[in-house]
């Protein structure tokens, strides 16, 4: 008998009943942190500022303002205007004069831009999926993780994060920077990946 058959033969359901309905019933009115749904932006920003998330943020009125906002941030950090840009057509409309743009991320890339599909007010999380326009690795190699998020894409709860239907290769939530407490419980930022997370809110 294969291991598969050996395992499954011992795992017959021990309780009768409509399994799917039972699973759905377990999701009724979940306990979760309260989020003021009439003030999602403020709720999101409050979570973003928590020590565990530790992100900075900026606000822009239009896509055209994005390069200037990034320049402001990088200059404030004492970094060159060097940036990895994902091949997302929404970014092509911006004027990147003055920037050195990377089409692929170097192993020690200093700054990377990514566009979040959603922000989650409950936790200050940024939600991403992989696609031909959105590689994943640059967001983890970089020291400064710069994320563009439209205010209209802020949703209240983590339940709002997943995509319906067919799943992409990776669906991921970023809720802060790469941190570790592995040496004496002492918190260090930038363990392997980003040391800084900067969110640019688009109020278009």
Partner 1 sequence: MSSFTAKADTATFKERTDAALADRILKVAVERTAGTAETKRGIAVAAFPDFDAARDRAAAIKDHVVAHLGHYLEMFEANAVAAGAKVHWASTADEACKIVIDLCKAANAKSVARSKSMLGEEIGLPHALAEAGIGRVETDLAEHIIQLADERPSHIIWPAMHKTREQVSALFKAKHRSPHEEETIAAMAESARRQLRGEMLGADVGISGANFLIAYTGAICTVTNEGNAELSLVPPRVHIVTAGIEKIVPSMPHAVHMLRMLARSATGAALTQYTTFYTGPKRPGDRDGPEEMHIVLVDNGRTKMREEGLAEMLRCIRCGACMNHCVVFRQIGGHAYGGTYPGPMGSVLTPVFDGLPQSRDLAHACTLNGKCQEVCPVRIPLPTLLKGWREKSWREGLEPTSMRVGLGVWAWVASRPALYRFGTGIAVRAMRLLGRKGWIDRLPLAGGWTQYRDMPRPAAQTFMAQYNKERRK
Our CB check for partner 1 shows the closer of 69 and 83 to be 83
- Asked whether position 107 contacts partner 1 by CB under 8 A, the answer is yes
- Asked whether position 27 contacts partner 1 by CB under 8 A, the answer is yes
The residues in 143-162 that bind partner 1, with binding defined as CB under 8 A, are: 157-159, 161-162
C-alpha 50/C-alpha 55 separation (Å) is 8
Contact 117, 161 (CB under 8 A): no
Contact 84, 113 (CB under 8 A): yes
Mark residues 47-76: x for contact with partner 1 by CB under 8 A, - for none.
Answer: x--x-x------------------------
CA angle 28, 32, 35 (to 5 degrees): 115
Eight-class DSSP state of 155: E
Tokens of 60: 């822009």
Contact 46, 120 (CB under 8 A): no
Residues within the interface to partner 1 (CB under 8 A) = 2-4, 6-8, 10-15, 19, 22-23, 26-27, 30-34, 47, 50, 52, 87, 107-108, 122-123, 125, 130-132, 135-137, 140-141, 157-159, 161-162, 167-186, 188, 190-194
């Amino acid at each position: 008998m294969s291991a598969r058959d050996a395992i499954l033969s011992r795992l017959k359901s021990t309780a009768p009943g409509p399994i799917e309905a039972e699973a759905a019933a377990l999701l009724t009115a979940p306990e979760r942190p309260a989020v003021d749904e009439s003030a999602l932006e403020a709720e999101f920003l409050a979570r973003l500022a928590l020590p565990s998330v530790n992100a900075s943020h900026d606000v822009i009125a239009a896509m055209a303002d994005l390069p200037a906002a990034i320049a402001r941030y990088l200059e404030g950090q004492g970094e060159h205007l060097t940036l990895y840009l994902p091949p997302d057509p929404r970014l092509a409309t911006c004027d990147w004069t003055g920037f050195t743009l990377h089409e692929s991320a170097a192993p020690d890339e200093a700054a990377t831009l990514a566009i979040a599909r959603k922000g989650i007010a409950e936790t200050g999380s940024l939600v991403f999926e992989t696609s031909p326009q959105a590689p994943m690795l640059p967001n983890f190699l970089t020291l400064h993780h710069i994320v563009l998020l439209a205010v209209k894409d802020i949703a209240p709860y983590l339940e709002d994060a997943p995509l319906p239907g067919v799943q992409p290769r990776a669906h991921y939530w970023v809720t802060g920077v790469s941190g570790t407490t592995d040496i004496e419980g002492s918190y260090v930022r930038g363990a392997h990946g980003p040391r800084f997370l900067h969110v640019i809110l688009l109020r278009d």
